[in-house]
Amino acid sequence: MVRLHVRPYGSLDDFEAMRRVLVAGRRASPHSGYIHIGDLNWWLFYLLRTYDLSEITFLWEDSGANVVGWSLLTPDLGAFDVFVRPEARDSATVEQILAWTEARLLEQVPNSAQLANMWAFGDDDLWRACLERCGYGRDRATGSLYLRHALDALETPSLPDGFQIAHVTDSLVEARASAHRGAFGSLRMTTESYAQLRQAPDYRPELDVITLAPDGEVASYVMGWYDEENRVAEFEPVGAAPLYQRRGLGRVVMLEALRRVRALGAREAIVYAEIDNPASQALFRSAGFTLLNRIDTYRKRLDDRA
């Protein structure tokens, strides 16, 4: 086992180091074991933006100060994430990082009834076995489907009269945030938080695709993220404002986004769909995505500890 040193997140240089772990991981294992770089941007610049990143994000280095992996805590959910470079995924290294991460999370949520890891791919036997050895069990009631599009035979999107395809510009930030709040019933997506998300290192305005209604309101949207080195795109999130749901406009933006990422050189695209959300599954399948893997949540009940 390699001797590792852990330190807190400090700057965008550390973001890039975390990103490199994911790029290397996807190169070695294209559809298992690793999130997309878009997820990292989404987490640090949106979902977890109210946290002090130095208190929840940690980088693991070897004796040469090379980043081997990273830990990320989500205290509000009692959850954690751990990702390490492919060559460091031996059980001893991973268990060392997992044990430290779990202990650090317990310091921040001492009264939590359980801990959770939400990114166990269906065919990632190494990580699943590690979690199970450490007292975690699969939560069969939750999880996501991992779907892939090969970017072949792309359909040209067809718009209703008066609607148009565009991408988000500065003047549309407030309207885009409002459409997201309406689609998901979430107050988290404020104009301010959306503007901050647009500062994420891998954000591309041309992949922040929207449809505009005849009155100029944002009707539907999808945000694309592109891993140029692995030539794979991800779409997160996708939705439609309440007035424009069930009119095929979510599919329209998906088809347009697929065309745009292929033009950038992408060879494939991925999305996640929660297992209890048949509407999103139907949308993605209608745009040409097919099931490739599954992502499960593993939980550890703390009252089971000796």
**Topology, domain 5-144+295-304:** Aminopeptidase (3.40.630)
According to DSSP, the residues that pair with 6 across neighbouring strands are: 60
Q: What is the reported pLDDT for 106?
A: 96
CA distance 302 to 114: 5
pLDDT in tens, the chain (306 residues): 568 999 999 999 999 999 999 999 999 999 999 999 999 999 999 999 999 999 999 999 999 999 999 999 999 999 999 999 999 998 889 999 999 999 999 999 998 999 999 999 999 999 999 999 999 999 999 999 999 999 998 999 999 999 999 999 999 999 999 999 999 988 899 999 999 999 999 999 999 999 999 999 999 999 999 999 999 999 999 999 999 999 999 999 999 999 999 999 999 999 999 999 999 999 999 999 999 999 999 999 997 544
| Residue 306: predicted pLDDT | 45
CATH architecture assignment, domain 151-266: 3-Layer(aba) Sandwich (3.40)
One-letter amino acid identity for 47? Answer: L
Residues of the chain with CATH 3.40.630.30: 5-144+295-304, 151-266
pLDDT value of residue 303: 75
Instruction: Read off the pTM.
Output: 0.95
Q: Which pLDDT score, from 0 to 100, does residue 1 have?
A: 58
